[in-house]
A and B are shown apart, each in its own frame.
Chain A
Amino acid sequence: MVEADHTDALNPATLARIRQMRDLYPSPRSAVLPALWAIQDELAYLPAWSLEVVATELGLLAGDVEAVSSFYSMYFNHQPGRHQIQVCRNVSCGLRGSDELLRHLENWLGVEDGGTTTDGAFTLEGTVECLGACGGAPMMQVDRFSYENLNPERAEEVLTKIRNSEPRDLD
């Protein structure tokens, strides 16, 4: 079977990172998760061809990689928004108003749980694990940072700031 070579579709730095990970572990297969992270960091999601790249680099079959990537909830198989909002709704956050927070954000952003805003800025997720910030409930995580002790107004402020700090295209 002739397979298309997609390695040149990735940034050389990403490919280098994957190879560095492969050599770091006692078994190359251990680099699957780090490799998928490296690709998602570059492309924001994992297109099917990228799973084949990981498979090739680590000596696996593409199916092996898909079995893994689809298991974990943080890998996307489609293009998400530029920023990912995770609203924790587990017990501690639930007790302190996370449902109301999510409902407010759904209305304010005009998307449902799991959806992406029309401008592509945000993907809103309200079905996530406990995000480990129960002391600051209710909270949301935007990309890698936690925003705690939120109320609807404060959440709006945070997101407005993030949206405004994005570089804009010149009309």
Chain B
Amino acid sequence: MADASTVAELVNISVDGRPVEVPPGTLVWDACEKAGIFVPVYCAHKKLEPVAVCRMCLVEVEGLPKLQPACATRVAPGMVVRTQTEQVRKFRDGNLEFLLLNHPLDCPVCDRGGECDLQDFTQRYGPGRARSSITEKVHFDKAVKLSDKIMLDQERCILCWRCVRYYEEITGEREIVLQERGVHTVVDSFERQPLQSQFQGNLPEICPVGALTHRQYRFRARPWDLRRTASVCSHCSYGCNIFVDAREEQIARYASNDNPEVDDSWLCDQGRYGFPELNRPERVINPEARVGGLRQAVSYQDAVARAAGALLRVRGDHGGTSVGVLGSPRMTNEEAFVLQWLAREVIATPHVDHRYEPLEGISPEQFRLGIAELEGCDAVVVIGDRPERLSPVLTLRLYKVANKLGRQILRVPETFSAAQVVKQLPAAGRIGIVAAQADRAAAMGLRAKAGSAGREAAVLTITEAVNSRGCQDLGLLPNVGPGYRSLEHSGLFGRQLLEAAVAGQIKALLVVGDGADFEAEGLFHEALAKVDVAVVVTAWQGVASRAATVLLPGRTIAEKAGTVTNTEGRVQRVRTAVEPKFTFPSDLRILGDLAAGLGSDLGVQALAAPVFELLAAAVPAYRGCQAGLRAHWEPGS
């Protein structure tokens, strides 16, 4: 946020004759980018401090005798920069010749081939010939297993230091260092001790060549065989932006897709390397139904009709409240909204939830503080280690706040004295409080205490799953409606609902989503066995799919389109990155078709965009937020 004191006069410079206006202190490299002029770099990286070691970005600056590194030179008023002169061209050519001198010729078996900056710049600016008689290369170690995740090839390394600086500036762990000197310089870990960091996966991504590669992706694909889709990591509720790279309808890898407000371009290893979960073969691929006591494959239309018929029958015999509806925190906002509507308005049951354990006393004040807003706090209190265990990337943001911005981070145990904590805070300024959602009461208590001691405090609670926040916002809970509206009659929470089913009070269950929160619970098993009707929409074979009286194939998060809301309330798009092995309708369409079978009309097409309009009408905080904005909740409560 730019307050009046930080707004300064812009500086005018010209790059290759194009005028460009930038704030004072801007790097020439950034000014070139703003002018639409590409300057090649190896060592420079948007998230790291400049070091100017690769020299690839040398450009002419009028009035200076030597070429200047664009990555480390700051603009001055009236500066005239030239990036296309003969001098620059000749040096780029020569510098690439230097880099290739000791570079191995193993492009054919290098995982980086096709997306390697050394290949790309050589093609664009390089010599195009090997003129030298010096063919002897300095040799180093290849295929060094730095950990179970990372492979190092010291010969391919061009010593840009990005990995070393990443470990120094971003994580502070310093697991990779420079060793030796001159032409013998290498990057390595101390005595080859395996890397321990939970953020190693970022290393291959910032490496401009094939020196650091993912072992998971080793020899798996060529980049030109991959289809890239922008989406959101489903590992946790943090909502890191990713690219899903898929090959032959299987996810081949995740890559980061920098969102400075959320991930700041870093992913955790659990998230990055967790996708094989979504590639598992144990899928539900056909609609099935129990016909005369035996489960058999049926047509989609037949399955929907049977499901609707069964639910209608139970409602007719025992009333709507005899039906329980269970969703999942990994469903999209659109699905969650339609599912709660289906329960409350169509089936007429209050018993709807998306989780096993009860959740009470929630409000938007518990995520008033945004992730990036942590950087604007003068001090941050972190309650327990649960927030960072739930969302590891939060650790990197906190490190930035402490290390780069020099703010106070106060880590307190889960039980603490608010009065004692307040005493340790700065006398004035903005206080951030970060807690797991389970510790929301403690966090809100501290906020109140800090408030009465004259500090401005805001809270960020970390929820559990990719769309836990969306499910809560949209009322996929028995005790609050969409937009945290209070209800006249609360329904049963997930576990109570299953207990009621075992006790015979709930006769039918509609289970939608991956059911991961329930699958491990014995009670879920018992309840499914007990109820007369179990309509299950799921992607995965498991307890629910086996017990279903009607089974419909669902999609994984990688196979669907819609929005999810991260822990700070940011509404972000997930996109279809891979197609399922079947052609049946999406989960959202299934819900719409079920509603139709039950005699109700959603009013719009069961597609993500129109359904979002529908939910935004019901929950105004979501209006206009579908492209990555935080829902704007009115202050209060």
In the complex they form, whether A and B have CB atoms below 8 Å apart is answered with yes
Q: Say yes or no: is A2 at the interface (Cβ < 8 Å to chain B).
A: no
Q: Min CB distance, B198 to chain A, in Å?
A: 15
Q: Say yes or no: is A63 at the interface (Cβ < 8 Å to chain B).
A: yes
Q: Say yes or no: is B191 at the interface (Cβ < 8 Å to chain A).
A: yes
Q: Say yes or no: is A71 at the interface (Cβ < 8 Å to chain B).
A: yes
Chain B residue with Cβ nearest A51? B190
Q: Say yes or no: is A70 at the interface (Cβ < 8 Å to chain B).
A: yes
Chain A residue with Cβ nearest B174? A61
Per-residue CB proximity of A1-15 to B under 8 Å, as 1/0? Answer: 100000000000000
B179 pairs with A67, CB closer than 8 A = yes
Instruction: Find B190's partner among A1, A61, A71 (CB 8 Å cutoff).
Output: A61
Instruction: Find B175's partner among A1, A63, A70, A71 (CB 8 Å cutoff).
Output: A63
Per-residue CB proximity of B198-242 to A under 8 Å, as 1/0? Answer: 000000000000000000000000000000000000000000000
- B residues 154-202 touching A (CB-CB < 8 Å): 174-181, 189-191, 196
Chain A residue with Cβ nearest B178? A67
Residues of B within 8 A of A64 (CB): 174, 177
Residues of B within 8 A of A61 (CB): 174, 190
Q: A48-B191, A61-B190 are in contact. Are A66 and B177 (CB under 8 A)?
A: yes
B190 pairs with A62, CB closer than 8 A = yes
Cα–Cα distance between A70 and B181 once the two chains are bound (Å): 7
Could you tell me which B residues sit within 8 Å of A by CB distance?
174-181, 189-191, 196
Cα–Cα distance between A170 and B191 once the two chains are bound (Å): 39
Q: Min CB distance, A153 to chain B, in Å?
A: 35
Cα–Cα distance between A63 and B196 once the two chains are bound (Å): 13
Residues of B within 8 A of A70 (CB): 179-181
Assuming A61-B190, A63-B190, what are 8 further A-B pairs, CB within 8 angstroms?
A: A48-B191, A62-B191, A63-B176, A66-B177, A67-B177, A70-B179, A71-B178, A71-B181
- A residues 48-65 touching B (CB-CB < 8 Å): 48, 51, 61-64
Instruction: Find B180's partner among A51, A62, A63, A71 (CB 8 Å cutoff).
Output: A71
How many residues on A have C-beta within 8 angstroms of the other chain's C-beta atoms?
11
- A residues 90-147 touching B (CB-CB < 8 Å): none
Cα–Cα distance between A76 and B446 once the two chains are bound (Å): 56
Chain B residue with Cβ nearest A1? B196
Residues of B within 8 A of A63 (CB): 174-177, 189-190
Cα–Cα distance between A67 and B190 once the two chains are bound (Å): 8
Cα–Cα distance between A70 and B188 once the two chains are bound (Å): 12
Q: Min CB distance, A43 to chain B, in Å?
A: 17
Please provide the 9 A-B residue pairs with the shortest distance between their CB atoms, ordered closest to farther: A63-B190, A67-B177, A63-B177, A70-B179, A62-B190, A71-B181, A70-B180, A61-B174, A48-B191
Chain A residue with Cβ nearest B181? A71
Q: Min CB distance, A53 to chain B, in Å?
A: 13
Cα–Cα distance between A1 and B175 once the two chains are bound (Å): 14
Cα–Cα distance between A67 and B163 once the two chains are bound (Å): 14
Chain A residue with Cβ nearest B175? A63
Chain B residue with Cβ nearest A68? B177
Cα–Cα distance between A66 and B190 once the two chains are bound (Å): 7
Residues of B within 8 A of A67 (CB): 177-179
Chain B residue with Cβ nearest A61? B174
**Cβ contacts A to B, 24 pairs, < 8 Å:** A1-B196, A48-B191, A61-B174, A62-B191, A63-B174, A63-B175, A63-B176, A63-B177, A63-B189, A63-B190, A64-B174, A64-B177, A66-B177, A66-B179, A66-B190, A66-B191, A67-B177, A67-B178, A67-B179, A70-B179, A70-B180, A70-B181, A71-B178, A71-B179
Cα–Cα distance between A67 and B178 once the two chains are bound (Å): 5
Residues of A within 8 A of B178 (CB): 67, 71
Residues of A within 8 A of B177 (CB): 63-64, 66-67
Q: Min CB distance, A48 to chain B, in Å?
A: 5
Residues of A within 8 A of B175 (CB): 63
Residues of B within 8 A of A48 (CB): 191
- A residues 1-55 touching B (CB-CB < 8 Å): 1, 48, 51
Residues of A within 8 A of B174 (CB): 61, 63-64
Chain A residue with Cβ nearest B190? A63
Which of A63, A67, A70 has most chain B Cβ within 10 Å? A63
Chain A residue with Cβ nearest B176? A63
Chain B residue with Cβ nearest A73? B181
Q: Min CB distance, B212 to chain A, in Å?
A: 16
Cα–Cα distance between A62 and B178 once the two chains are bound (Å): 12
Chain B residue with Cβ nearest A62? B190
Q: Min CB distance, B624 to chain A, in Å?
A: 48
Cα–Cα distance between A125 and B224 once the two chains are bound (Å): 51
Residues of B within 8 A of A51 (CB): 190
Q: Min CB distance, B568 to chain A, in Å?
A: 33
Q: Min CB distance, B192 to chain A, in Å?
A: 10
Chain B residue with Cβ nearest A66? B190
Cα–Cα distance between A145 and B190 once the two chains are bound (Å): 34
Q: Min CB distance, B501 to chain A, in Å?
A: 48
Cα–Cα distance between A73 and B189 once the two chains are bound (Å): 20
Residues of A within 8 A of B189 (CB): 63
Which of A1, A51, A62, A67 has most chain B Cβ within 10 Å? A67
